A and B are shown apart, each in its own frame.
Chain A
């Protein structure tokens, strides 16, 4: 059974950089059928796709966050990561990592989510 687990600091100050890692177990991140995504949910709001990465390193970010986001993948550790710089209170959210089926585009496995709070 594939499992994903987010990890990283839960508290940040404005202007700092958010860094999260998603550890994948029970399957290979190098599976060519899948992309690996970050999705967030601000308190009381809906789900927002942040970006996606393929195991070879190809990325695609949502336009509204493109200038502040970077994703990376480490196939040797079966992990992928998210960096979001210059955070503000608007970036407070539960951050999920998920596996996305290429071509079709559904998210079939998710992590439980990591709450990141931005506050001075």
Chain B
């Protein structure tokens, strides 16, 4: 299985801060890397697909980059509604696997 790691595991930032979350795969996954936001009690929300494709309705302050094994999700100006846990997920090989998550506190 492809192992996914994320850093940091948690962070606390202020409104307006630039936040970067890193995701690393144990082997190359091309650009088959997707990002989700999860607020407890709610359905997880797809933010970014295929590394850098912003999903409809997701604010432009979110951006993604990377390829191969190293990927980043950046929030250019953190907003109060951006709290939650962020997960990366690879779909390069079965079984699809997720990173352990990065908890973002405002």
Asked whether, in the complex, the Cβ of B91 is within 8 Å of the Cβ of A105, the reply is yes
Q: What is the count of residue pairs linking A and B with beta-carbon distances less than 8 angstroms?
A: 55
Partner of B44, one of A46, A62, A107: A107
Asked whether, in the complex, the Cβ of B32 is within 8 Å of the Cβ of A113, the reply is no
Asked whether, in the complex, the Cβ of B46 is within 8 Å of the Cβ of A108, the reply is yes
Closest chain B CB from A39 CB (angstroms): 8
* Cα-based distance from A110 to B91 in the complex (angstroms): 17
B12 lies within 8 A of chain A by Cβ:
no
Asked whether, in the complex, the Cβ of A106 is within 8 Å of the Cβ of B34, the reply is yes
A105-B92, A107-B46 known; 12 new pairs, CB 8 Å cut-off, are A46-B98, A46-B100, A47-B89, A49-B96, A101-B49, A105-B34, A108-B46, A108-B49, A109-B46, A110-B44, A111-B43, A112-B43
